Amino acid sequence: MTTRRNLLKFSALAAAASALPSFAFADEKGKPVGKAAKPLNILILGGTGFTGPFQVAYALARGHKVTIFNRGKKPSPEWPGHVEQLFGDRNTGDLKSLQGRKWDVCIDNPTSLPFWVRDAGKVLAGNVGQYLFISTISVYADGSKASIGEDDALSVYKGKDAMAETQESLRADIENLYGPLKALSEAEAHKQFGKRVTIVRPGYIVGPRDETDRFTYWPHRVAQGGEMLVPGDGLDPVQIIDGRDLGEWMVRLAEQGTIGTFNAVGPRNPLTMDAMLRTCAKVTGGKPTYTHVTPEFLEAQKVQELPIWVSRKSGDFAGYGAVSNARAIDAGLTYRPLETTVTDLMAWFRSQPAERQATLKAGLTREQEADLLKKWHAQKTA
């Protein structure tokens, strides 16, 4: 692919709001974002997915210079300022547009494969001052324990050659490969970029622009009202982080030159399943009646997953609702109120085309839910 550099200039904030909600340019308390003490030259690998646009918008608002690198498959949102777009393809090793350039910071958003980090290191090592990598809490070897900390053991890759793994092989066995390959990607980051590495491990990322519908399922379902199936006893802890809080905090980590490894999970204080649903009801105006069903019933009915929720009592991922975020909070991670996240998420979702809203990508259909509730009540009666 021939190297191309386009300087994209967008100056109208109103136009930007159509792609990036205007609330992306305020802090977690709604206050206007101020300028950073020192402007940085930031390279973002990706930049047009979920968290990337919020990183770009926040970095621009803070007065930084931003370059994004990707395949150009997704149209770039209309930024409120200047963004340099570089094209290439990490799958094929086409990183020519990055050669001979220097940046203060590189933020790597989309990497799940170690060879992507290796190849980036060959071009960027020595040419970036700090490398920030978005990883995942799935790297931990034991997801069943509560209060998982950053120093806990990581998953071990059991394949033949991690550097030979591709997006296709990852998708074919994502349950067994995702965590170990992310862990090896972290290790490769340290190998390529030395001590100037920051590893950020989020759990569920939610909010506007979330195309997975994993969290969206809950406020969407609450808004519909009626009898609603709720897994567990309502006391299972839930951890989520607004994509804006994650993206903006990473820019601040870059500004401060913060290195280390951090669990980027929220909210700040424990949140239960029932408390999350009450907030959804408060925001959406929905008036459902909640029917709690046991994890054992769901397992017997072969319900493989209800998004966001995990039972705190058993299972390989029982600790995913209670991962320690103390280190991240000490490093300046802040959180919008859950009400704000739900409000903005639903405003974004309802702005999508009708066919997009018609079928969610996660959770139960109303027919599946009705069938499960019928079986639950019949079992209780019997």
Residue 326 has pLDDT above 90, yes or no: yes
Per-position b or e across 194-227, b if 16+ CB within 10 A of its CB = eebbbbbbbbbbbbbbbeebbbbbbbbbbbeeee
Under the banding of pLDDT at 50, 70 and 90, the label for residue 12 is very low
Would you call 278 helix, strand, or coil by DSSP?
helix
Would you call 82 helix, strand, or coil by DSSP?
strand
Under the banding of pLDDT at 50, 70 and 90, the label for residue 26 is low
Closest by alpha carbon to 23, among 36, 32, 34, 15? Answer: 32
Q: Mean per-residue pLDDT for 197-205? A: 97
Predicted pLDDT at 245: 96
Instruction: Classify burial at 350, counting beta carbons within 10 Å of its beta carbon; exposed 0-12, middle 13-18, buried 19 or more.
Output: exposed
Percent of all residues in the chain with a pLDDT value above 90, rounded to a whole number: 84
- CA pair distance 365, 303, nearest whole angstrom: 12
Residue 17 has pLDDT above 70, yes or no: no
Mean pLDDT of the chain: 90
Q: Is the model's pTM score more than 0.75?
A: yes
Q: Mean per-residue pLDDT for 146-171? A: 96
Residue 9 has pLDDT above 80, yes or no: no
Residue 252 has pLDDT above 50, yes or no: yes
Looking at beta carbons, which pairs linking 345-350 to residues 24 or more positions away fall under 8 Å?
345/206, 345/207, 345/208, 345/210, 345/215, 345/216, 345/219, 346/216, 346/219, 346/220, 346/223, 346/283, 346/284, 347/21, 347/208, 348/21, 348/208, 348/209, 349/216, 349/220
pLDDT tens for 338-347 read 999 999 999 9
Residue 380 has pLDDT above 90, yes or no: no
